[in-house]
Protein backbone atom coordinates (compact mmCIF):
# COMPACT_ATOMS: atom_id res chain seq x y z
CA UNK A 1 0.00 0.00 0.00
CA UNK A 2 1.41 3.47 -0.88
CA UNK A 3 2.98 5.34 2.03
CA UNK A 4 1.55 8.88 2.24
CA UNK A 5 1.90 11.69 4.77
CA UNK A 6 -1.38 11.75 6.76
CA UNK A 7 -3.93 14.06 5.12
CA UNK A 8 -6.98 15.11 7.14
CA UNK A 9 -8.67 18.48 6.58
CA UNK A 10 -10.65 18.05 9.80
CA UNK A 11 -7.61 17.85 12.06
CA UNK A 12 -7.75 20.13 15.08
CA UNK A 13 -4.84 22.26 16.31
CA UNK A 14 -3.76 22.40 19.91
CA UNK A 15 -2.75 26.07 19.81
CA UNK A 16 -3.72 28.92 17.48
CA UNK A 17 -1.39 28.96 14.46
CA UNK A 18 1.18 31.78 14.30
CA UNK A 19 1.07 32.80 10.63
CA UNK A 20 4.65 34.08 10.88
CA UNK A 21 5.80 30.46 10.99
CA UNK A 22 4.37 29.94 7.48
CA UNK A 23 6.52 32.68 5.92
CA UNK A 24 9.99 31.70 4.61
CA UNK A 25 12.72 33.54 6.53
CA UNK A 26 14.15 35.05 3.35
CA UNK A 27 10.84 36.16 1.80
CA UNK A 28 10.26 39.71 0.55
CA UNK A 29 7.35 40.31 2.97
CA UNK A 30 9.64 39.88 5.96
CA UNK A 31 11.95 42.59 4.64
CA UNK A 32 9.01 44.91 3.90
CA UNK A 33 7.58 44.22 7.34
CA UNK A 34 10.68 45.27 9.26
CA UNK A 35 11.63 48.12 6.91
CA UNK A 36 8.22 49.79 7.18
CA UNK A 37 8.44 49.49 10.98
CA UNK A 38 11.61 51.63 10.80
CA UNK A 39 9.96 54.45 8.86
CA UNK A 40 8.85 57.69 10.48
CA UNK A 41 5.12 57.84 9.73
CA UNK A 42 4.36 60.96 11.77
CA UNK A 43 2.98 62.85 8.74
CA UNK A 44 0.48 60.05 8.16
CA UNK A 45 -0.41 59.69 11.84
CA UNK A 46 -1.21 63.42 12.01
CA UNK A 47 -4.20 62.86 9.74
CA UNK A 48 -5.74 60.56 12.34
CA UNK A 49 -5.55 63.05 15.24
CA UNK A 50 -9.12 64.24 14.79
CA UNK A 51 -10.61 60.81 14.09
CA UNK A 52 -11.69 60.06 17.67
CA UNK A 53 -15.06 58.38 18.05
CA UNK A 54 -16.86 56.18 15.58
CA UNK A 55 -15.46 52.97 14.15
CA UNK A 56 -11.70 52.58 14.74
CA UNK A 57 -9.50 52.93 11.66
CA UNK A 58 -7.20 50.25 10.34
CA UNK A 59 -3.64 50.88 11.47
CA UNK A 60 -1.66 52.76 8.79
CA UNK A 61 1.13 50.19 9.12
CA UNK A 62 -1.16 47.51 7.71
CA UNK A 63 -2.15 49.52 4.66
CA UNK A 64 1.37 50.78 3.95
CA UNK A 65 2.90 47.30 4.18
CA UNK A 66 0.16 45.79 2.03
CA UNK A 67 0.44 48.52 -0.63
CA UNK A 68 4.25 48.31 -0.75
CA UNK A 69 4.17 44.54 -1.20
CA UNK A 70 1.37 44.69 -3.76
CA UNK A 71 3.28 47.18 -5.90
CA UNK A 72 6.46 45.11 -5.50
CA UNK A 73 4.73 42.17 -7.22
CA UNK A 74 3.00 44.30 -9.86
CA UNK A 75 -0.44 44.39 -8.21
CA UNK A 76 -2.24 47.75 -8.12
CA UNK A 77 -5.98 47.07 -8.21
CA UNK A 78 -7.49 47.74 -4.77
CA UNK A 79 -10.09 45.02 -5.40
CA UNK A 80 -7.42 42.44 -6.22
CA UNK A 81 -5.40 43.48 -3.18
CA UNK A 82 -8.48 43.07 -0.97
CA UNK A 83 -9.04 39.60 -2.46
CA UNK A 84 -5.43 38.61 -1.67
CA UNK A 85 -5.98 39.58 1.96
CA UNK A 86 -8.47 36.73 2.11
CA UNK A 87 -6.51 34.13 0.14
CA UNK A 88 -2.78 34.91 0.12
CA UNK A 89 -0.74 34.00 3.21
CA UNK A 90 1.84 36.72 2.51
CA UNK A 91 -0.80 39.45 2.51
CA UNK A 92 -2.41 37.88 5.59
CA UNK A 93 0.94 38.01 7.37
CA UNK A 94 1.46 41.72 6.65
CA UNK A 95 -2.13 42.57 7.66
CA UNK A 96 -2.10 40.32 10.76
CA UNK A 97 -5.16 38.54 9.34
CA UNK A 98 -7.16 41.79 9.19
CA UNK A 99 -9.15 42.41 6.01
CA UNK A 100 -9.65 46.04 4.98
CA UNK A 101 -11.97 46.19 1.98
CA UNK A 102 -11.01 47.56 -1.43
CA UNK A 103 -12.58 50.95 -0.71
CA UNK A 104 -10.47 51.39 2.43
CA UNK A 105 -7.32 50.49 0.50
CA UNK A 106 -8.21 52.81 -2.38
CA UNK A 107 -9.10 55.74 -0.10
CA UNK A 108 -5.92 55.33 1.97
CA UNK A 109 -3.80 55.39 -1.17
CA UNK A 110 -5.49 58.55 -2.45
CA UNK A 111 -5.40 60.38 0.88
CA UNK A 112 -1.71 59.74 1.61
CA UNK A 113 -0.10 60.09 -1.82
CA UNK A 114 1.49 63.37 -0.72
CA UNK A 115 3.37 61.66 2.14
CA UNK A 116 4.95 59.03 -0.12
CA UNK A 117 7.73 61.40 -1.18
CA UNK A 118 9.00 61.52 2.40
CA UNK A 119 8.75 57.72 2.76
CA UNK A 120 10.67 57.29 -0.50
CA UNK A 121 13.44 59.52 0.85
CA UNK A 122 13.63 57.50 4.09
CA UNK A 123 13.96 54.25 2.13
CA UNK A 124 16.74 55.79 0.01
CA UNK A 125 18.59 56.73 3.21
CA UNK A 126 18.18 53.20 4.57
CA UNK A 127 19.69 51.78 1.37
CA UNK A 128 22.58 54.23 1.76
CA UNK A 129 23.13 53.37 5.44
CA UNK A 130 23.17 49.68 4.55
CA UNK A 131 25.87 50.41 1.99
CA UNK A 132 23.75 49.36 -0.99
CA UNK A 133 23.61 52.75 -2.73
CA UNK A 134 27.12 54.18 -3.08
CA UNK A 135 26.17 57.57 -4.62
CA UNK A 136 29.11 57.31 -6.99
CA UNK A 137 27.95 57.24 -10.59
CA UNK A 138 24.29 58.08 -11.07
CA UNK A 139 22.37 57.90 -14.33
CA UNK A 140 19.34 60.02 -15.21
CA UNK A 141 16.69 58.89 -17.66
CA UNK A 142 12.95 58.81 -18.19
CA UNK A 143 10.18 57.01 -19.99
CA UNK A 144 6.70 57.90 -21.17
CA UNK A 145 3.85 56.19 -19.34
CA UNK A 146 0.25 56.17 -20.55
CA UNK A 147 -2.25 58.31 -18.67
CA UNK A 148 -5.67 57.08 -17.58
CA UNK A 149 -7.34 59.07 -20.34
CA UNK A 150 -8.42 58.21 -23.90
CA UNK A 151 -6.57 59.89 -26.73
CA UNK A 152 -9.86 60.86 -28.38
CA UNK A 153 -10.67 63.05 -25.40
CA UNK A 154 -7.77 65.38 -26.26
CA UNK A 155 -9.14 68.48 -27.96
CA UNK A 156 -7.94 71.84 -29.22
CA UNK A 157 -9.39 75.09 -27.86
CA UNK A 158 -11.66 75.45 -30.92
CA UNK A 159 -12.99 71.89 -30.57
CA UNK A 160 -13.54 72.32 -26.84
CA UNK A 161 -15.58 75.47 -27.44
CA UNK A 162 -17.59 73.81 -30.21
CA UNK A 163 -18.22 70.80 -27.99
CA UNK A 164 -19.33 73.03 -25.10
CA UNK A 165 -21.76 74.93 -27.37
CA UNK A 166 -23.32 71.67 -28.58
CA UNK A 167 -23.76 70.37 -25.05
CA UNK A 168 -25.28 73.64 -23.85
CA UNK A 169 -27.82 73.41 -26.68
CA UNK A 170 -28.68 69.87 -25.60
CA UNK A 171 -29.10 71.10 -22.02
CA UNK A 172 -31.51 73.81 -23.20
CA UNK A 173 -33.53 71.20 -25.09
CA UNK A 174 -33.71 68.97 -22.02
CA UNK A 175 -34.85 71.90 -19.84
CA UNK A 176 -37.48 72.95 -22.40
CA UNK A 177 -38.82 69.44 -22.51
CA UNK A 178 -38.83 69.23 -18.72
CA UNK A 179 -40.82 72.45 -18.35
CA UNK A 180 -43.56 71.10 -20.64
CA UNK A 181 -44.14 68.03 -18.50
CA UNK A 182 -43.97 69.55 -15.00
CA UNK A 183 -47.31 68.13 -13.94
CA UNK A 184 -46.41 64.60 -14.98
CA UNK A 185 -43.05 64.87 -13.21
CA UNK A 186 -44.76 65.97 -9.97
CA UNK A 187 -46.73 62.74 -9.98
CA UNK A 188 -43.59 60.69 -10.74
CA UNK A 189 -41.38 62.30 -8.09
CA UNK A 190 -43.90 61.97 -5.27
CA UNK A 191 -42.31 63.29 -2.07
CA UNK A 192 -39.21 64.55 -3.86
CA UNK A 193 -38.84 68.25 -4.51
CA UNK A 194 -39.34 67.69 -8.22
CA UNK A 195 -36.37 69.84 -9.17
CA UNK A 196 -33.69 67.14 -9.12
CA UNK A 197 -31.57 67.15 -12.26
CA UNK A 198 -32.45 64.43 -14.76
CA UNK A 199 -29.58 61.96 -15.26
CA UNK A 200 -28.95 63.05 -18.85
CA UNK A 201 -28.78 66.68 -17.77
CA UNK A 202 -26.45 65.87 -14.86
CA UNK A 203 -24.04 64.02 -17.17
CA UNK A 204 -23.96 66.92 -19.58
CA UNK A 205 -23.36 69.47 -16.85
CA UNK A 206 -20.51 67.34 -15.48
CA UNK A 207 -19.01 67.23 -18.97
CA UNK A 208 -19.34 71.02 -19.32
CA UNK A 209 -17.39 71.38 -16.05
CA UNK A 210 -14.61 69.12 -17.35
CA UNK A 211 -14.44 71.05 -20.62
CA UNK A 212 -14.07 74.33 -18.72
CA UNK A 213 -11.20 72.86 -16.68
CA UNK A 214 -9.48 71.73 -19.88
CA UNK A 215 -9.87 75.24 -21.34
CA UNK A 216 -8.32 76.72 -18.18
CA UNK A 217 -5.31 74.41 -18.60
CA UNK A 218 -4.88 75.56 -22.22
CA UNK A 219 -4.93 79.20 -21.16
CA UNK A 220 -2.65 78.76 -18.14
CA UNK A 221 0.03 76.59 -19.79
CA UNK A 222 -0.16 77.80 -23.35
CA UNK A 223 -0.78 74.32 -24.76
CA UNK A 224 -2.52 73.74 -28.09
CA UNK A 225 -4.55 70.76 -26.83
CA UNK A 226 -5.89 69.44 -23.53
CA UNK A 227 -7.54 66.19 -22.47
CA UNK A 228 -11.03 66.41 -21.01
CA UNK A 229 -10.61 63.34 -18.76
CA UNK A 230 -7.20 64.29 -17.39
CA UNK A 231 -6.15 67.85 -18.34
CA UNK A 232 -2.61 67.36 -16.96
CA UNK A 233 -1.58 64.65 -19.44
CA UNK A 234 -0.41 65.30 -23.01
CA UNK A 235 0.22 63.58 -26.31
CA UNK A 236 3.75 62.15 -26.19
CA UNK A 237 5.79 59.87 -28.41
CA UNK A 238 6.44 56.42 -26.97
CA UNK A 239 9.45 54.16 -27.50
CA UNK A 240 7.83 52.65 -30.61
CA UNK A 241 7.34 56.03 -32.26
CA UNK A 242 3.58 56.17 -31.70
CA UNK A 243 1.68 58.86 -29.80
CA UNK A 244 -0.60 58.52 -26.82
CA UNK A 245 -1.92 60.53 -23.87
CA UNK A 246 0.95 60.16 -21.42
CA UNK A 247 3.08 61.50 -18.61
CA UNK A 248 6.86 61.83 -18.66
CA UNK A 249 8.33 59.82 -15.76
CA UNK A 250 11.84 60.60 -14.55
CA UNK A 251 14.40 58.91 -12.31
CA UNK A 252 18.00 59.05 -11.15
CA UNK A 253 19.53 55.63 -10.48
CA UNK A 254 22.61 54.60 -8.50
CA UNK A 255 25.21 52.95 -10.73
CA UNK A 256 26.28 50.45 -8.08
CA UNK A 257 23.05 48.68 -7.09
CA UNK A 258 20.42 50.31 -9.34
CA UNK A 259 18.60 51.90 -6.41
CA UNK A 260 16.32 54.74 -7.50
CA UNK A 261 17.62 57.82 -5.69
CA UNK A 262 15.20 60.41 -7.10
CA UNK A 263 12.04 60.37 -9.19
CA UNK A 264 9.44 62.69 -10.63
CA UNK A 265 6.58 62.90 -13.13
CA UNK A 266 6.02 65.84 -15.45
CA UNK A 267 3.65 66.92 -18.20
CA UNK A 268 6.54 68.27 -20.24
CA UNK A 269 7.14 66.36 -23.46
CA UNK A 270 10.94 66.84 -23.46
CA UNK A 271 13.55 66.09 -20.78
CA UNK A 272 15.54 69.33 -21.01
CA UNK A 273 14.16 70.84 -17.81
CA UNK A 274 14.41 67.66 -15.71
CA UNK A 275 18.18 67.32 -15.23
CA UNK A 276 18.65 69.99 -12.56
CA UNK A 277 15.58 69.06 -10.41
CA UNK A 278 16.55 65.36 -10.42
CA UNK A 279 20.18 66.07 -9.57
CA UNK A 280 19.17 68.35 -6.69
CA UNK A 281 16.66 65.78 -5.46
CA UNK A 282 19.46 63.18 -5.33
CA UNK A 283 21.53 65.54 -3.17
CA UNK A 284 18.52 66.24 -0.93
CA UNK A 285 17.55 62.56 -0.56
CA UNK A 286 21.07 61.25 0.10
CA UNK A 287 22.74 64.20 1.78
CA UNK A 288 25.72 64.15 -0.57
CA UNK A 289 26.72 65.06 -4.10
CA UNK A 290 27.28 62.20 -6.59
CA UNK A 291 30.80 61.67 -7.90
CA UNK A 292 29.55 61.46 -11.51
CA UNK A 293 26.30 61.86 -13.39
CA UNK A 294 25.31 60.76 -16.88
CA UNK A 295 22.29 61.42 -19.09
CA UNK A 296 21.50 61.17 -22.80
CA UNK A 297 21.34 64.09 -25.23
CA UNK A 298 17.62 64.59 -24.54
CA UNK A 299 18.67 66.33 -21.32
CA UNK A 300 20.96 68.78 -23.08
CA UNK A 301 20.34 72.50 -22.76
CA UNK A 302 22.59 75.53 -22.41
CA UNK A 303 21.12 76.15 -18.97
CA UNK A 304 22.07 72.62 -17.86
CA UNK A 305 25.64 73.03 -19.15
CA UNK A 306 26.03 76.29 -17.22
CA UNK A 307 24.67 74.60 -14.07
CA UNK A 308 27.14 71.73 -14.48
CA UNK A 309 30.04 74.14 -14.97
CA UNK A 310 29.15 76.44 -12.06
CA UNK A 311 28.65 73.55 -9.63
CA UNK A 312 31.74 71.59 -10.67
CA UNK A 313 29.74 68.48 -11.57
CA UNK A 314 31.58 65.65 -13.32
CA UNK A 315 28.88 65.11 -15.94
CA UNK A 316 28.69 63.03 -19.09
CA UNK A 317 25.96 64.72 -21.09
CA UNK A 318 26.30 65.02 -24.89
CA UNK A 319 24.72 67.86 -26.83
CA UNK A 320 21.95 67.10 -29.32
CA UNK A 321 24.26 67.26 -32.34
CA UNK A 322 27.00 65.10 -30.85
CA UNK A 323 26.06 61.85 -32.62
CA UNK A 324 25.57 63.59 -35.95
CA UNK A 325 28.74 65.67 -35.87
CA UNK A 326 31.18 63.22 -34.29
CA UNK A 327 32.22 59.96 -36.01
CA UNK A 328 33.22 56.68 -34.33
CA UNK A 329 36.88 57.69 -34.32
CA UNK A 330 36.08 60.87 -32.42
CA UNK A 331 36.56 63.28 -35.30
CA UNK A 332 34.02 66.04 -35.81
CA UNK A 333 32.08 65.79 -39.07
CA UNK A 334 31.57 69.44 -39.98
CA UNK A 335 31.18 71.13 -43.35
CA UNK A 336 33.42 73.80 -44.82
CA UNK A 337 31.09 76.62 -43.79
CA UNK A 338 30.33 75.34 -40.30
CA UNK A 339 30.70 78.20 -37.82
CA UNK A 340 33.61 76.37 -36.16
CA UNK A 341 35.63 77.02 -39.32
CA UNK A 342 35.16 80.78 -38.88
CA UNK A 343 38.21 82.38 -37.24
CA UNK A 344 37.74 84.83 -34.40
CA UNK A 345 39.87 87.92 -33.81
CA UNK A 346 39.53 88.86 -30.16
CA UNK A 347 41.13 92.32 -30.49
CA UNK A 348 38.84 93.47 -33.29
CA UNK A 349 35.90 91.34 -32.09
CA UNK A 350 35.17 90.02 -35.58
CA UNK A 351 34.88 86.65 -37.32
CA UNK A 352 36.43 85.82 -40.69
CA UNK A 353 34.73 83.17 -42.85
CA UNK A 354 36.61 80.52 -44.94
CA UNK A 355 36.30 82.87 -47.96
CA UNK A 356 38.00 85.71 -46.09
CA UNK A 357 34.84 87.80 -45.55
CA UNK A 358 34.22 89.59 -42.26
CA UNK A 359 31.33 89.20 -39.77
CA UNK A 360 30.94 92.02 -37.22
CA UNK A 361 29.15 92.13 -33.86
CA UNK A 362 25.51 93.22 -34.04
CA UNK A 363 23.79 92.62 -30.67
CA UNK A 364 23.49 90.67 -27.41
CA UNK A 365 20.44 88.69 -26.39
CA UNK A 366 19.39 86.07 -23.84
CA UNK A 367 17.30 82.95 -24.42
CA UNK A 368 16.37 80.20 -21.95
CA UNK A 369 18.85 81.56 -19.42
CA UNK A 370 21.78 81.57 -21.87
CA UNK A 371 23.58 84.69 -23.18
CA UNK A 372 24.29 85.03 -26.92
CA UNK A 373 26.23 87.45 -29.16
CA UNK A 374 25.19 87.82 -32.80
CA UNK A 375 27.69 88.47 -35.61
CA UNK A 376 26.54 89.35 -39.17
CA UNK A 377 28.41 89.07 -42.49
CA UNK A 378 29.19 92.36 -44.27
CA UNK A 379 30.18 91.13 -47.72
CA UNK A 380 27.90 88.15 -48.26
CA UNK A 381 26.00 89.79 -51.15
CA UNK A 382 29.13 89.75 -53.38
CA UNK A 383 30.41 86.32 -52.28
CA UNK A 384 30.32 83.55 -54.93
CA UNK A 385 29.83 80.87 -52.21
CA UNK A 386 26.91 82.69 -50.62
CA UNK A 387 24.28 80.01 -51.34
CA UNK A 388 26.47 77.24 -49.93
CA UNK A 389 27.03 79.23 -46.76
CA UNK A 390 23.67 80.81 -45.93
CA UNK A 391 20.03 80.80 -46.95
CA UNK A 392 19.50 84.43 -45.97
CA UNK A 393 20.84 87.70 -47.29
CA UNK A 394 23.79 87.58 -44.90
CA UNK A 395 25.42 84.92 -42.73
CA UNK A 396 24.65 85.12 -39.02
CA UNK A 397 26.68 83.52 -36.22
CA UNK A 398 25.28 83.08 -32.73
CA UNK A 399 28.06 82.84 -30.16
CA UNK A 400 26.88 81.35 -26.88
CA UNK A 401 28.46 81.40 -23.42
CA UNK A 402 27.93 77.62 -23.55
CA UNK A 403 30.18 77.05 -26.59
CA UNK A 404 33.33 76.54 -24.54
CA UNK A 405 31.56 74.16 -22.14
CA UNK A 406 30.23 72.16 -25.08
CA UNK A 407 33.68 71.86 -26.60
CA UNK A 408 35.14 70.60 -23.32
CA UNK A 409 32.25 68.16 -22.84
CA UNK A 410 32.77 66.69 -26.31
CA UNK A 411 36.47 66.20 -25.69
CA UNK A 412 35.72 64.42 -22.39
CA UNK A 413 33.10 62.16 -23.98
CA UNK A 414 35.55 61.19 -26.75
CA UNK A 415 38.21 59.90 -24.35
CA UNK A 416 38.33 56.20 -23.53
CA UNK A 417 37.34 56.90 -19.93
CA UNK A 418 34.51 59.21 -21.03
CA UNK A 419 33.09 56.60 -23.41
CA UNK A 420 33.07 53.95 -20.66
CA UNK A 421 31.41 56.22 -18.13
CA UNK A 422 28.74 57.36 -20.57
CA UNK A 423 28.18 53.75 -21.64
CA UNK A 424 27.61 52.84 -17.98
CA UNK A 425 24.34 54.74 -18.16
CA UNK A 426 22.81 51.96 -20.27
CA UNK A 427 23.53 49.27 -17.69
CA UNK A 428 22.40 51.50 -14.81
CA UNK A 429 19.04 53.03 -15.60
CA UNK A 430 17.76 51.00 -18.57
CA UNK A 431 17.33 47.75 -16.53
CA UNK A 432 15.33 49.67 -13.92
CA UNK A 433 12.96 51.07 -16.54
CA UNK A 434 12.67 47.61 -18.06
CA UNK A 435 11.84 46.08 -14.68
CA UNK A 436 9.09 48.59 -14.00
CA UNK A 437 7.48 48.39 -17.44
CA UNK A 438 8.03 44.77 -18.47
CA UNK A 439 8.46 42.69 -15.32
CA UNK A 440 6.01 44.56 -13.09
CA UNK A 441 3.73 45.69 -15.93
CA UNK A 442 3.74 49.39 -15.05
CA UNK A 443 2.98 50.76 -18.50
CA UNK A 444 0.18 53.11 -17.51
CA UNK A 445 -1.25 55.01 -14.56
CA UNK A 446 -4.50 54.22 -12.76
CA UNK A 447 -4.94 57.65 -11.17
CA UNK A 448 -5.57 61.02 -12.84
CA UNK A 449 -4.07 64.44 -12.26
CA UNK A 450 -0.38 65.26 -11.97
CA UNK A 451 -0.23 65.18 -8.15
CA UNK A 452 -1.93 61.79 -7.87
CA UNK A 453 0.19 60.40 -10.70
CA UNK A 454 3.35 61.59 -8.90
CA UNK A 455 2.23 59.65 -5.81
CA UNK A 456 1.48 56.53 -7.81
CA UNK A 457 4.93 56.65 -9.39
CA UNK A 458 6.47 57.07 -5.93
CA UNK A 459 4.83 53.76 -4.98
CA UNK A 460 6.36 52.07 -8.02
CA UNK A 461 9.83 53.40 -7.17
CA UNK A 462 9.48 52.50 -3.49
CA UNK A 463 8.53 48.95 -4.47
CA UNK A 464 11.60 48.69 -6.71
CA UNK A 465 13.93 49.91 -3.94
CA UNK A 466 12.41 47.57 -1.36
CA UNK A 467 13.14 44.62 -3.63
CA UNK A 468 16.74 45.84 -4.01
CA UNK A 469 17.13 46.04 -0.22
CA UNK A 470 15.54 42.60 0.20
CA UNK A 471 17.93 41.10 -2.35
CA UNK A 472 20.90 42.62 -0.52
CA UNK A 473 19.75 41.42 2.90
CA UNK A 474 19.61 37.84 1.62
CA UNK A 475 23.02 38.01 -0.05
CA UNK A 476 26.22 36.83 1.63
CA UNK A 477 27.34 40.44 1.91
CA UNK A 478 24.14 41.69 3.47
CA UNK A 479 23.10 38.89 5.85
CA UNK A 480 24.76 40.67 8.75
CA UNK A 481 22.56 43.73 8.17
CA UNK A 482 19.34 42.11 9.38
CA UNK A 483 20.20 43.26 12.89
CA UNK A 484 20.18 46.87 11.71
CA UNK A 485 16.80 46.72 9.99
CA UNK A 486 15.16 44.80 12.87
CA UNK A 487 16.50 47.19 15.52
CA UNK A 488 13.61 48.40 17.73
CA UNK A 489 11.25 46.29 15.64
CA UNK A 490 8.53 44.61 17.70
CA UNK A 491 7.07 42.43 14.95
CA UNK A 492 9.41 39.52 15.75
CA UNK A 493 9.26 39.75 19.55
CA UNK A 494 9.88 36.78 21.81
CA UNK A 495 7.21 34.21 22.61
CA UNK A 496 7.18 35.28 26.26
CA UNK A 497 6.32 38.88 25.39
CA UNK A 498 3.59 37.75 23.00
CA UNK A 499 2.18 35.43 25.62
CA UNK A 500 1.93 38.22 28.20
CA UNK A 501 -0.05 40.31 25.73
CA UNK A 502 -2.66 37.62 25.09
CA UNK A 503 -6.06 38.88 26.23
CA UNK A 504 -8.35 36.96 28.56
CA UNK A 505 -10.61 36.14 25.62
CA UNK A 506 -7.71 34.49 23.78
CA UNK A 507 -6.82 32.47 26.89
CA UNK A 508 -10.41 31.23 27.05
CA UNK A 509 -10.13 30.27 23.39
CA UNK A 510 -6.95 28.25 24.08
CA UNK A 511 -8.60 26.43 26.99
CA UNK A 512 -11.62 25.64 24.82
CA UNK A 513 -9.34 24.14 22.17
CA UNK A 514 -7.55 22.06 24.81
CA UNK A 515 -10.88 20.58 25.91
CA UNK A 516 -11.83 19.72 22.33
CA UNK A 517 -8.36 18.25 21.72
CA UNK A 518 -8.60 16.05 24.83
CA UNK A 519 -12.00 14.77 23.66
CA UNK A 520 -10.56 13.97 20.24
CA UNK A 521 -7.66 12.03 21.77
CA UNK A 522 -10.08 9.97 23.83
CA UNK A 523 -11.95 9.09 20.59
CA UNK A 524 -8.68 8.11 18.94
CA UNK A 525 -8.67 10.92 16.37
CA UNK A 526 -5.38 12.42 15.12
CA UNK A 527 -4.53 15.88 16.39
CA UNK A 528 -1.98 18.45 15.18
CA UNK A 529 -0.03 19.81 18.17
pLDDT tens per residue across span 457-509: 999 999 999 999 999 998 888 877 777 777 654 443 333 333 334 444 455 55
236 contacts: CB under 8 Å, gap ≥ 6: 144, 243, 244, 245, 246, 247, 248, 269
Average pLDDT, the chain: 82
Return d(Cα 142, Cα 123) in angstroms, integer.
21
Q: How many residues does the chain have?
A: 529
323 contacts: CB under 8 Å, gap ≥ 6: 297
Instruction: Kindly report the number of other CB atoms within 10 A of residue 146's CB atom.
Output: 16
Taking alpha carbons only, the member of 468, 515, 467, 445 closest to residue 109 is: 445
pLDDT tens per residue across span 404-445: 999 999 999 999 999 999 999 888 999 999 899 988 989 999
pLDDT tens per residue across span 76-134: 999 999 999 999 999 999 999 899 999 999 999 999 998 999 999 999 999 999 999 98
Taking alpha carbons only, the member of 361, 341, 357 closest to residue 349 is: 361
Return d(Cα 330, Cα 413) in angstroms, integer.
9
Average pLDDT over residues 180-200: 51
Higher pLDDT, 396 or 510: 396
85 contacts: CB under 8 Å, gap ≥ 6: 66, 91, 92, 95, 98, 99, 100
Taking the domains of the chain in order of start, what are their residue ranges? Answer: 12-111+474-504, 137-141+245-321+410-439, 151-227, 339-402
Q: pTM for the complete prediction?
A: 0.80
DSSP 64-85: HHHHHHHHHTT---HHHHHHHH
Q: Which fold has domain 137-141+245-321+410-439?
A: Nucleotidyltransferase; domain 5 (3.30.420)
| pLDDT for res 233 | 86
Contact assessment for residue 216 and residue 426, using Cβ atoms and an 8 Å cutoff:
no
Taking alpha carbons only, the member of 141, 358, 365 closest to residue 271 is: 141
Taking alpha carbons only, the member of 158, 155, 299, 143 closest to residue 234 is: 155
SS3 content of the chain, % helix, strand, coil (to 5): 50, 15, 35
Amino acid sequence: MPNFIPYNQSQLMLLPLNIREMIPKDHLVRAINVLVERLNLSLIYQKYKNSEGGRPSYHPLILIKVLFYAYAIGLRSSRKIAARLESDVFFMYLAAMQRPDFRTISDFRKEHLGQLKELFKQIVLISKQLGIAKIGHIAIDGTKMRASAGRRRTKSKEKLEKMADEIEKEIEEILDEASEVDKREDRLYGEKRGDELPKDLQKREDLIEKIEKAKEVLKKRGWKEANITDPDCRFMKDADGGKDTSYNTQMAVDGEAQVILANDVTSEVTDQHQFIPLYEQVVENTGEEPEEVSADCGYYSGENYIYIEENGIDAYLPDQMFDKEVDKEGKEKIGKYDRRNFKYDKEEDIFTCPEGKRLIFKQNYKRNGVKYRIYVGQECSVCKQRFECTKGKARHINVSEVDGIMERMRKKLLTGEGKEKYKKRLSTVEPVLGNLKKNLGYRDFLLRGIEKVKGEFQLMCIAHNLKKIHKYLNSEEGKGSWGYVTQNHEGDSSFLKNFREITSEKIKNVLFRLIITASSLVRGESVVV
